[in-house]
Amino acid sequence: MDLFTLLANLPAAQRAQMSTSINERFSALGESMINQMAVRAVSAEYAALGMDTGDLQMDFILRSGGAMLLFSLLSISCTIAVGYLSARIAAGVGRDVRKRVFEKVTFFSNAAFDQFSTASLITRSTNDITQVQMVIVMMLRMVIYAPIIGVGGVIHALDKSTSMWWIIALAVTVLLGLILTVFAIALPRFKAIQTLVDRLNLVMREALSGMMVIRAFNMQDHEAARFDKANRNLTDTMLFISRVMVVMMPVMMLIMNGLALLIIWIGSHQVAESAMQVGDMMAFMQYSMQIVFAFLMLSMMFIILPRASVSAGRIADVLDVESDLRDPAAPAAFPEPFAGTVEFRNVCFRYPGAEKDVLHEINFVAKPGETTAFIGSTGSGKSTIVNLIPRFHDVTCGEILVGGVDIRSVTQRDLRDKIGYIPQKGLLFSGTIESNLRYGAAEASAADLEAAATTAQAAEFIFSNPEGLQAEIAQGGANVSGGQKQRLAIARALVKRAPIYIFDDSFSALDFKTDAALRRALKETTAASTIFVVTQRVATIQHAEQIIVLDEGCVVGKGTHRELLESCEVYRDIALSQLGQEEIA
């Protein structure tokens, strides 16, 4: 008998009661169960209409599979694009930050350099920037991708079952608690680890630079122990952090497996009560795993984020340093033609943080074509005075005039363009002899380089080598002697043809014969320039037009060699300690 004909013959009240009961039962089943129950009836209806359900199903599978394949290919393309862009962006940021750090350091004043060790600056320019690059890659690849996966998983999981939302909330809460706990434990150690890297680099740099001294005093064991201590401190800290981080993965896997068991336990009861299908339970579990996986991805970023944040702060410390040497807003210009007259007017100087001045009321005038020499005991302020001229420091009081202009009113570049500087320690750069000499003037001709080398008494050892000016110079000039290094440094300054030359104890490694020959050659080459000479040798400066004797930062004598022998007791004591009575007379 037709079911619908039978139902039509029932009384209206009974039909209404049955309809209400059936609707309540169907509502309790949920839309998914109703659809599943209707599949057989719909399939029978299609068969009754003479349609091939197999073809319909195959067509649906092909269309759905094709769409899934296209989405997979799109996902692969996006993954490759994100990997490429994240690597490119991170490398670009690292390049730009490294450039900014280097440019900032090149404009540091000497006082600013005292805030950071050389080893620390190297670490900040390499290791710290690498840490920042790594976190940028992780952020671009995961910080955007993981929330999309997580939010999508929540939406689809709740679509399958809203009754088990608390399971996801519980898992997420436990994961957040774990991540925050690890973060709180690891962050203090991450702050210490970069300082320990600085210390390790410092010990290594000192050991490599002073290897000959270490061997001469048989201190290899001491230095090995010193390095081992720094190395162990760094290793112990990194091991502690690694152990903390290693705990995260097993705990997260435990949370994921516990989550799966809880979903199966709760879901199986709902399947038994016909409130959920087995397929929906499995889908809910997969989406829950997807949500947890999103947090796993974020946790990977949290592993390196603390160290990267410390590194970023260390980089910012360098970039935030404000040099006390600044160019004026409206710089003046040197008069033309330029005269290299240098005048000190009541100059005092105190190092930053010092309690008292190291120079007191310094007054003198140095004229073009004359040599002004500084002599005195160690620590009397000789090098400090000449370092004030190129404005490596600013005076505490008084003023320094170059060409009649206060050096603080012109740009540092314009000022230093007028000066040929030869430091106390002759520093050479890796490359060739020619590249080092061209440091003074890049456009200098080969004849200029040869003339400067001849004046500096360096031509003999340069051109005795078959490679000549193309001979290689090792890092720091390690493959040349101290005297050769000084002569090359002097030649480099002479190539510049500057109106002012500063020789800061630049003849100390030369023998007396070479020293005398060099001074004679300089007299001819730099006849129109203002010459400053810092030295401990009376023989080097006894023919200078002006000798300034310093004692504890004060000028105690000023004049020629003859005048000072008669009027300055300090100079006379120095001369008598170096020269015989006949030479003084």
What's the rounded Cα separation, in Å, for the pair 53 and 321? 77
Instruction: Quote the distance between the C-alpha of residue 183 and its chain's center.
Output: 24
Beta bridge partners of 534: 374, 504
332: left (phi over 0), alpha (psi -120 to 50) or beta: beta
Confidence at residue 72, expressed as pLDDT on a 0 to 100 scale:
92
User: Which of helix, strand or coil describes residue 274?
Assistant: coil
Tokens 């740099």 -> residue: 205
The number of residues making up the chain comes to 585
3-state DSSP of 196-228: HHHHHHHHHHHHHHCHHHHHHCCCHHHHHHHHH
> Residue 60 to residues 27, 31, 33, 64, 420: CA-CA distances in angstroms?
28, 21, 21, 6, 84
Mind giving me the DSSP string for 527-551?
Answer: TTSEEEEE-S-HHHHTT-SEEEEEE
What's the rounded Cα separation, in Å, for the pair 182 and 66? 44
Give the DSSP letter of residue 93.
Answer: H
Domains 335-418+500-585 and 426-497 share a fold: yes
Confidence at residue 4, expressed as pLDDT on a 0 to 100 scale:
62
135 burial level (CB within 10 Å; 0-12, 13-18, 19+): buried
Q: CA angle, 346 as apex, 342 and 352 as ends, to 5°?
A: 95
Helix axes 512-525, 482-495, angle to 10 degrees: 0
533's tokens:
């000479």
User: Which of helix, strand or coil describes residue 456?
Assistant: coil
What's the rounded Cα separation, in Å, for the pair 496 and 456? 13
Cβ atoms of residues 375 and 574 within 8 Å: yes
CATH match of 426-497 with 3.40.50.300: yes
224's tokens:
């090995």
Q: CA angle, 111 as apex, 441 and 394 as ends, to 5°?
A: 70
CATH match of 335-418+500-585 with 2.130.10.10: no
Instruction: Look up residue 569 and give its amino acid.
Output: E
What's the rounded Cα separation, in Å, for the pair 343 and 351? 21
Cβ atoms of residues 308 and 134 within 8 Å: yes
Q: Which fold has domain 59-319?
A: ABC transporter transmembrane region fold (1.20.1560)
Phi, psi of 493 (to 5 degrees): -70, -35
Task: Give the global pTM.
Answer: 0.70
Output the CA torsion 87→93→94→95 (10° steps).
110
What's the rounded Cα separation, in Å, for the pair 156 and 17? 36
Peptide bond into 11 cis (omega under 30): no
Q: What is the pLDDT along the chain (585 residues), one digit of tens a residue?
A: 466 666 667 777 777 777 777 776 666 655 666 666 677 777 777 777 777 777 777 888 999 999 999 999 998 998 899 889 989 999 999 999 999 999 888 888 777 777 787 778 888 888 889 888 988 888 888 777 777 877 777 787 777 667 777 887 888 788 778 878 877 777 778 778 878 888 888 888 888 878 878 888 888 888 899 999 999 998 998 888 888 877 777 887 888 888 888 888 888 887 777 677 777 778 888 888 888 778 777 777 766 777 788 788 888 888 888 777 788 888 888 888 888 899 999 999 988 777 888 999 999 999 998 999 999 888 888 989 999 999 888 899 999 999 889 999 999 889 999 999 988 887 888 889 888 888 888 888 888 889 998 998 888 888 888 888 888 888 777 788 888 888 898 999 999 889 999 998 888 777 778 888 888 888 888 888 999 999 888 888 888 899 999 988 899 999 998 889 888 888 888 888 877 655 555
- What ranges do the domains of the chain cover? 3-51, 59-319, 335-418+500-585, 426-497
CA proximity to 180, closest of 316, 305, 52 = 305
Confidence at residue 549, expressed as pLDDT on a 0 to 100 scale:
92
What's the rounded Cα separation, in Å, for the pair 118 and 209? 13
Q: Which long-range contacts (CB under 8 A, 24 or more apart) does 31-40 make?
A: 32/276, 32/277, 32/280, 33/274, 33/277, 36/277
Q: Which segments of 210-277 does DSSP mark as H helices, in order?
A: 211-216, 220-272
Confidence at residue 532, expressed as pLDDT on a 0 to 100 scale:
93
Peptide bond into 466 cis (omega under 30): no
Handedness of CA 561, 565, 571, 572 (dihedral sign): positive
C-alpha neighbours within 13 Å on the C-beta side of residue 515: 18
User: Which of helix, strand or coil describes residue 398?
Assistant: strand
CA proximity to 172, closest of 38, 292, 6 = 292
Cβ atoms of residues 250 and 299 within 8 Å: no
Q: Which helix (H) or strand (E) holds 94?
A: helix 53-106
Q: CA angle, 216 as apex, 212 and 220 as ends, to 5°?
A: 80
Mind giving me the DSSP string for 328-362?
Answer: -SS-----SS----EEEEEEEE--TT-SS-SEEEE
